[in-house]
């Protein structure tokens, strides 16, 4: 298998899309046809999410480079939810989507190795997000497993939430904010995992809600793929995310969740699947258009 | 129900123990009687872990204040592993142990709420560990859920691994290391969750492998319970962990995993359960003795 970064570049080219669809099953937002009984028990909810997720995958597969299931929404449903998560990850890969497990794991080295095995082998994601707070030795087992499995990592550098500044923006003694110190390490961790495309399979999560910081990080990490959350419902536009890309129109993929998968909530004039399809096509097109101006 | 901090104080007093047993099922280390077929398939492994975990719980329940299952080792076994995790958490509570889910979750606010529901409701832990890298708004949903459920949180402040210094020890512009900045926030987050015992249900993870830093954090966070990893296999002694306690001999619980649950690997002269029991009793006694000198 090719390294993850190269597979991502291939997917972007073959689908002409830099869009990632967040598969985050918020029960309240599922279309009416999936609502029966899901508040009463988690088995019914997990089954509904499985069926809904299959439809989303079929709908977005031609238009998205990857899907990014947020595991928190599956864990909410207990062990049944994890069965659904497992099945949807497998299903998406079969349907030609790369799967980025949004798990944000991070732990001491031995435990990090267990997490890496869990998510890059057992749950078999193409890539996962990880949290760097525990330091280099906590990231190393993920890098090692990514190398072994031709998988990818997106390390949290600068997240999209308003409170991300509390620690990530803290100025360190040498004048750099913490997120830049982390970014520098991301570059180091990624050196071993450079693909033929010139991009590394160790990428970074960089929120589109902070455009200036994204632009600075883009310069600091030319070889890293950015996974860019915050598009759509969180307020970032195609113009904002443009700063996350390199001149080759690569180096970033942009995630939207609610604004795509629950597009029917704002667009009730069409069938829910049609609303989803229109939303993902518009997202893909808007980003491509912004990159061409 | 009482707030978590008060329930923890009650458990410490009723069992005369400040020991937490880490329930981390490393397959290679399970006693021989559980080894059959576990390398071949994850169902067999998950079943073996369920049976072994039940025996560990029965053995340590009279001597430990809490157990701390590390969810990474269950996630390694895929959905089956999460069934086992769920069942063991429930079982341990029935047997009179507080359950601290070592999940180290952390995410943007909406997702953090899903994680809080997952681990403090669906998996129904008494407390969980969380990662603060995403900032205050990412921690708030956990605090809110902890309040609603009388549950507890242990926020990663200074972890026990050698690499923890990479970011946690970084000096910020005002001269304080990052972990102290995080610690100050932990104190603020915990104010609303103070129990009758005087302790807050928002605690901190403070590695026993860094005794001076632990002593400084003890002064900075007088009301926080510390969850102290690093005892035993990771090298910290009863004298080291003493610095994590207040003068009332409260304010900390100490975790050991391998050195207790896999005590049979070093003590083959007795039955494996006897080895576990001797190890947890020795741990409890050694910590109490260190606190009395």
DSSP letters along A3-60, please?
Answer: -HHHHHHHHHHHHT--EEEEE---GGGS-GGG-TTTTT-HHHHHHHHHHHHHHHHHHH
Three-state SS at A246 = coil
Residue to mutate among B70, B121, B165, B167, with most A CBs inside 10 A, is B167
Residue to mutate among A134, A169, A175, with most B CBs inside 10 A, is A134
Query: Torsion angle of alpha carbons B31, B33, B37, B39, nearest 10°?
Result: 0
List chain B residues with CB under 8 Å of A105.
Answer: 72, 104
**Average pLDDT of B77-96?**
98
The pLDDT-based confidence of B209 (bands split at 50, 70, 90) is confident
The pLDDT of residue B293 is: 86
The pLDDT of residue B45 is: 97
Nearest to B159 among A76, A134, A166 (CB): A134
Task: Give which of B179, B211, B209, B196 is closest to B250, Cα–Cα.
Answer: B196
Q: Which of A43-57, B1-15, B86-100, B221-235 shows the lowest per-residue confidence on average (mean pLDDT)?
A: B221-235
**What distance in Å separates the CA atoms of residue A22 and residue B163, rounded to the nearest whole number?**
32
Max intra-chain CA distance, chain B: 57
CB contact under 8 A, A108 and B160: yes
The pLDDT of residue B23 is: 98
Residue to mutate among B28, B83, B111, with most A CBs inside 10 A, is B111
Q: Nearest CA of chain A to the CA of B194: how many Å?
A: 23
- What are the sequence ranges of the domains in chain B? 4-291
The CATH fold of domain A4-291: TIM Barrel (3.20.20)
Q: Which residues in B218-274 belong to E strands, given as ranges?
A: 224-228, 252-256
Three-state SS at B227 = strand
Chain B residue with Cα closest to A137: B163
Residue found under tokens 């400084």: B216
CB contact under 8 A, B75 and A109: no
CB contact under 8 A, A163 and B135: yes
The more confident residue out of A189 and B237 is A189
**What distance in Å separates the CA atoms of residue B283 and residue B91, rounded to the nearest whole number?**
23
Please give the positions of A annotated as active site.
104
**What distance in Å separates the CA atoms of residue B112 and residue A78, rounded to the nearest whole number?**
16
Chain A residue with Cα closest to B161: A108
**Average pLDDT of B103-121?**
98
The pLDDT-based confidence of A126 (bands split at 50, 70, 90) is very high
**Average pLDDT of B86-112?**
98
Query: Which token pair is B231?
Result: 């005892």
Residue A212 pLDDT exceeds 90: no
**Average pLDDT of A25-31?**
97
Burial class, A284, CB count within 10 angstroms (exposed 0-12 / middle 13-18 / buried 19+): buried
The pLDDT of residue B211 is: 85
CB contact under 8 A, B75 and A122: yes
CB contact under 8 A, A156 and B134: yes
> pLDDT tens for residues A113-123?
999 999 999 99
Residue B49 pLDDT exceeds 80: yes
Residue B206 pLDDT exceeds 90: yes
The pLDDT of residue A208 is: 84
**Average pLDDT of A70-81?**
98
List chain A residues with CB under 8 Å of B175.
Answer: 173
The pLDDT-based confidence of B208 (bands split at 50, 70, 90) is confident
Residue A149 pLDDT exceeds 90: yes
The pLDDT-based confidence of A268 (bands split at 50, 70, 90) is confident
CB contact under 8 A, B182 and A167: yes
Of B15, B40, B90, B104, which residue is the catalytic one?
A: B104
CB contact under 8 A, A79 and B83: yes
List chain B residues with CB under 8 Å of A118.
Answer: 72, 75-76, 78, 81
**Average pLDDT of A192-209?**
95
CB contact under 8 A, A178 and B161: no
In whole numbers, what is the pLDDT of chain B averaged over residues?
96
CB pairs under 8 A between A and B: 185
**What distance in Å separates the CA atoms of residue B177 and residue B278, rounded to the nearest whole number?**
39
**What distance in Å separates the CA atoms of residue A130 and residue B150, rounded to the nearest whole number?**
29
> pLDDT tens for residues B147-173?
999 999 999 999 999 999 999 999 999
**What distance in Å separates the CA atoms of residue B56 and residue B263, rounded to the nearest whole number?**
11
Reported as type and span, the H/E element at residue A255 is strand A252-256
Stated pTM of the model: 0.97
Nearest to B161 among A86, A118, A137 (CB): A137
Q: Which residues in B43-162 belong to E strands, given as ranges?
A: 66-69, 98-105, 127-130, 152-158
Residue B93 pLDDT exceeds 90: yes
Residue to mutate among A27, A163, A189, with most B CBs inside 10 A, is A163
**Average pLDDT of B76-99?**
98
Cα distances (angstroms) measured from residue A252 to each of A59, A145, A201, B264:
22, 22, 12, 50
List chain A residues with CB under 8 Å of B109.
Answer: 161, 163
Residue A157 pLDDT exceeds 90: yes
> pLDDT tens for residues B174-190?
999 999 999 999 999 99
Residues in chain A: 293
The pLDDT-based confidence of A236 (bands split at 50, 70, 90) is confident
> pLDDT tens for residues A90-111?
999 999 999 999 999 999 999 9
Per the DSSP assignment, residues forming a β-bridge with B100 are: B127
Nearest to B108 among A133, A161, A185 (CB): A161
Q: Nearest CA of chain B to the CA of A132: how many Å?
A: 8
Question: DSSP string of B104-130?
Answer: EE--SHHHHHHHHHIIIIIS--SEEEE
Q: Which residues contact A184 (CB under 8 A, 6 or more apart)?
A: A220
In whole numbers, what is the pLDDT of chain A averaged over residues?
96
Share of residues in chain A with pLDDT > 90 (%): 91
Residue A240 pLDDT exceeds 80: yes
The pLDDT of residue B79 is: 97
CB contact under 8 A, A104 and B106: yes
Find out whether A241 and A269 touch, Cβ atoms under 8 Å: no
Residue A175 pLDDT exceeds 80: yes
CB contact under 8 A, B133 and A131: yes
**Average pLDDT of A182-190?**
98
Output DSSP code: residue B176.
-
Residue B88 pLDDT exceeds 90: yes
Nearest to B78 among A75, A122, A162 (CB): A122
């Amino acid at each position: 298998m090719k390294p993850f970064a190269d597979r991502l570049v291939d997917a972007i080219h073959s689908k002409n899309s830099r869009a990632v669809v967040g598969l985050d099953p918020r029960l309240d937002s599922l279309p009416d046809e999936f609502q029966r009984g899901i508040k009463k028990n988690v088995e019914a909810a997990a089954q509904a999410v499985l069926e809904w997720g299959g439809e989303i995958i079929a709908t977005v597969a031609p238009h998205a480079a990857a899907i990014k299931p947020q595991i928190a929404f599956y864990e909410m449903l207990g062990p049944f939810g994890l069965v659904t998560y497992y099945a949807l990850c497998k299903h998406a890969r079969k349907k030609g989507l790369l799967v980025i497990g949004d798990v944000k794991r991070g732990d001491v080295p031995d435990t990090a190795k267990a997490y890496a095995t869990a998510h890059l082998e057992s749950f078999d994601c193409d890539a996962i997000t990880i949290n760097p707070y525990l330091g280099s030795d906590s990231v190393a087992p993920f890098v090692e497993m990514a190398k072994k499995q031709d998988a990818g990592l997106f390390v949290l550098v600068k997240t999209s939430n308003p409170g991300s500044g509390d620690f990530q923006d803290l100025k360190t003694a040498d004048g750099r904010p913490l997120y830049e110190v982390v970014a520098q390490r991301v570059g180091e961790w990624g050196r071993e995992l450079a693909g033929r495309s010139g991009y590394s399979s160790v990428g970074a999560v960089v929120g589109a809600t902070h455009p200036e910081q994204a632009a600075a990080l883009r310069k600091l990490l030319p070889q890293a793929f950015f996974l860019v959350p915050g598009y759509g419902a969180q307020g970032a536009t195609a113009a904002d995310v443009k700063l996350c890309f390199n001149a080759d129109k690569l180096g970033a993929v942009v995630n939207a969740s609610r604004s795509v998968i629950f597009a029917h909530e704002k667009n009730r004039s069409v069938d829910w699947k049609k609303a989803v399809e229109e939303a993902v096509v518009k997202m893909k097109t808007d980003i491509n258009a912004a990159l061409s101006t």
